Amino acid sequence: SYELTQPPSVSVSPGQTARITCSGDALPKQYAYWYQQKPGQAPVLVIYKDSARPSGIPERFSGSSSGTTVTLTISGVQAEDEADYYCQSADSSGTSVVFGGGAKLTVL
Amino acid sequence: QVQLVQSGAEVKKPGASVKVSCKASGYTFTSYGISWVRQAPGQGLEWMGWITPYNGNTNYAQKLQGRVTMTTDTSTSTAYMELRSLRSDDTAVYYCAKTTYYYDSSIGAFDIWGQGTMVTVSS
């Protein structure tokens, strides 16, 4: 079955830039979506269609795509950004949704 | 405001069934999809499937085919997810999510989530 691969953890200091990657063979032809999940809370959509930002999401969150890898970038990381981040996309047929394993962002 | 409110926690025995509800408000229910996602304790997100309330079309994760049924009641703007033949590894928080489709994307964005429903399967 299709898989999306994320690093288990990413650590940055406040004010620095965090980059969380997500790799998958179908990403060149399927859009990626990113979700933030804080402990005990439901996920929140932070990026859709690779790089679009929903209303209400801070401008420091951005997304990009290059080949089989998509990247969520958080510029000027704040303590409140500490959370798990999940990428999501579809398999090559476009019929099955897949989530990455999640990356825990730690703000040092 | 747009929100999804799910039914309360459930405790079930192995082999039983569970039906979780998800009541939508603040938007036109039939203009968007409803997706279901679950999360086992300490684990990641797992997509279960989606339903299009407008016509009742469904798309289930292959892993759950035959055990899951998703339905909607458009008169009350409520979606339902029923999971049968429960096993201990079905213990998880179950989420519904409003799904916005795009003409140029195979899948939609899960842009509003319910608060989650904890389902515990234990003898």
Mean pLDDT of chain B: 96
Question: How would residue A12 be classed by pLDDT, with cut points 50, 70 and 90?
Answer: very high
**CB-CB contact of B118 with B93 (8 Å):** yes
Query: Rounded to an integer, what distance in angstroms lies between the CA atom of residue B97 and that of residue B3?
Result: 9
Chosen for mutation from A1, A97, A98 (greatest number of chain B CBs closer than 10 Å) is: A97
DSSP output for A15-64: TS-EEEEEE-TTTTTS--EEEEE-TTS--EEEEBTTTB--TTS-TTEEEE
Average pLDDT for residues A49-65, to the nearest whole number?
97
**Can you tell me whether residue B64 is helix, strand or coil?**
helix
Q: Cβ contact (<8 Å) for A42 and B116? A: yes
pLDDT of residue A9: 97
CA of B114: which chain A residue's CA is closest? Answer: A42
Average pLDDT for residues A17-26, to the nearest whole number?
97
Average pLDDT for residues A61-81, to the nearest whole number?
98
Looking at CA atoms only, how far is residue A104 from chain B in angstroms?
11
Chain B positions touching A1 (Cβ under 8 A) are 62
Q: In the 8-state DSSP scheme, what is residue B106?
A: S
Average pLDDT for residues A42-61, to the nearest whole number?
97
Query: Rounded to an integer, what distance in angstroms lies between the CA atom of residue A104 and that of residue B54?
Result: 37
Query: Rounded to an integer, what distance in angstroms lies between the CA atom of residue B113 and that of residue B95?
Result: 7
Burial category of A59 from C-beta neighbours within 10 Å (exposed 0-12, middle 13-18, buried 19 and up): exposed
pLDDT digits (tens, 9 = 90+) for B76-122: 999 999 999 999 999 999 999 999 988 888 888 999 999 999 999 99
Question: How would residue A53 be classed by pLDDT, with cut points 50, 70 and 90?
Answer: very high
Could you tell me how many residues make up chain A? 108
Question: How would residue B49 be classed by pLDDT, with cut points 50, 70 and 90?
Answer: very high
Tokens of A58: 């801070």
End-to-end Cα, chain B, rounded Å? 40
Looking at CA atoms only, how far is residue A54 from chain B in angstroms?
8
Q: Cβ contact (<8 Å) for B113 and A43? A: yes
Average pLDDT for residues B68-74, to the nearest whole number?
98
pLDDT at B34 over 90: yes
Average pLDDT for residues B66-72, to the nearest whole number?
98
Give the list of residues 6+ apart from residue B3 with CB closer than 8 angstroms, or none. Answer: B24, B25, B26, B112
A33, A42, A96: residue with CB nearest B109: A33
CA of B93: which chain A residue's CA is closest? Answer: A42
- pLDDT over 70 for what percent of chain B? 100
